Chain A
Amino acid sequence: MSYKDIFLAELVFSLAEHVSEDVIPQPTIQVQSLPSECHISQQVTGDCSAVTAIFGEHDALAAFASQYAKFEVTDDILGEILADFLNMNNGSFVVSLSDTFEAECSLSVPEFSDGAIVPLLKDTYITPVEFDYGTVNFVFSEM
């Protein structure tokens, strides 16, 4: 099992636990570059070195954030709530890495960027997840 597979497994679990059980992850796509609307990211450092990110259409992200936070998320805090989900999921990912591989990893503070967020890394994967309000995309990019 690769780091990416563990990330995806934790993502599905986190979505079911904290957002909705009715989620449909689409096949993961390997890409060469990240879309320009990808502005929220968090780095995993240590034995596994990776960048994770979340992006999508504004209305889908707002609905997703509201479903996760369990209140109506306004634009002024949308980024913070999405970063919180990323951080929560990455925390579970790091714990799973520790349990599975005895890998020692930490998380950086989530980053918000107006431009492209990450330098192009070795293997970058996007997993689109469909909800009834739209698609939210999750990025795992291993250094």
Chain B
Amino acid sequence: MAENDLKILICDDSLLARKNLRETLKTLNCQNIIEVTDGQAAVDTYKSENPDIVFLDIVMPVKDGITAVKEICEYDSNAYVVMVSSVGTQSHLKEAIKAGASDFMQKPATTDQVKNVVTQAITKR
């Protein structure tokens, strides 16, 4: 699998965060990107689209990212979900990992961090 074969779901209520992550992914040759803005939409979209990577914010309307990652991982125990949050404390990290997240990045994510996630996803698939 190559970068442009990956289906990637970005879930963040911040327009700017989505834009920055989308542009970073495009520089890494990832073109198949779906964007949603709340945790419930992330769960629903995961079930319908089965993406290879999910980038998930924590603080969001309707359903927060921690609840969403739990539901995604209950549905698919192999889901590759990376939390991307402005709140990168140890307790948030632990909570995210306990909920099923594979990784955690503090905003703004760097190109290298995103590249590592993409590489991991390709390796896993």
Contact = CB atoms under 8 A, between A and B. Distances in A.
Interface of A: 18, 69, 77, 80-81, 83-84, 87-88, 90-92, 94-95, 98, 104-109
A88 B90 contact: no
A94 B106 CA distance: 12
Contacts of A18: 108
Contacts of A81: 15-16
B14 A80 contact: yes
A3 to B, nearest CB: 15
Interface string B82-110: 00011111111000000000000011100
Contacts of A84: 14-17
B108 A95 contact: no
A8 to B, nearest CB: 18
Interface string B31-50: 00000000000000000000
B73 interface: no
Contact of B59 (A77, A80, A106): A106
A7 B115 CA distance: 32
A107 B87 contact: yes
B86 to A, nearest CB: 3
Contacts of B92: 106
Given A87-B14, A104-B89, 18 more contacts: A18-B108, A69-B16, A80-B16, A83-B14, A84-B17, A87-B59, A87-B86, A88-B107, A88-B108, A91-B107, A92-B86, A94-B87, A95-B106, A98-B91, A107-B59, A108-B59, A109-B59, A109-B60
Contact of B86 (A80, A105, A107): A107
B13 interface: yes
B86 A88 contact: yes
Interface in B43-83: 59-61
Nearest to B91: A104
Interface string B12-25: 01111100000000
Nearest to B17: A84
A104 B90 CA distance: 10
Contacts of A106: 59, 87, 92
A76 to B, nearest CB: 10
A69 B20 CA distance: 9
B106 A77 contact: no
6 contacts: A77-B15, A80-B16, A83-B14, A87-B59, A88-B86, A91-B86
Question: Which of A88, A91, A94, A108 has most B Cβ within 10 Å?
Answer: A91
